[in-house]
Structure 1
Amino acid sequence: MAAARREGRRYLGIDASPAPGKDASIGAAVEALTHTPFGGASTLEACASITDVLKGLALRTCGYSGLMLPVLEDPVLAR
């Protein structure tokens, strides 16, 4: 927010959605939390936990700001 004030802009928030990338997989993060392959019995609980953390952030958020599972962009989800 300091940068917004310095630049004479309004800070409207940040989209806190975790996004996969070439070297970052949401599916791998869920597997690391559950110690099981994505789609296993504890996948839904892990996704709910991630969503709870995102909703509990002490930040002004905008946009979706939730857990996205983009199969075409995430190599772990795509397999």
Structure 2
Amino acid sequence: MIKKYTLDSLDADFGTFLLREDESVQLLIPKNLINVHLHEGDIVEIIKTNENYKITLLQCETEEAMAKVSSLLEQLRNK
């Protein structure tokens, strides 16, 4: 099953991903199984296959989410 996640944090051992539809659900993936270069806040699709994960960066969705956050921050600054 394909699910969308946001990369919450990336430390020396694990990436912590939050499920987009319910951010209280976390997925910890060992760093050595993360097959793509990611930054905190990136939105990804994750497919679990046996012992591995197929992680795909959703560049457009990530850019849209960051633009929305930037716009909200700008609105807050201007109040």
TM-score (norm 2): 0.28
Compare relative contact order (CA 8 Å, sep 6+) and give the higher one, 1 or 2: 1
TM-score (norm 1): 0.28
Which structure dedicates a bigger proportion of its chain to strand?
2
Which structure dedicates a bigger proportion of its chain to helix?
1
Q: Which has the larger radius of gyration?
A: 1
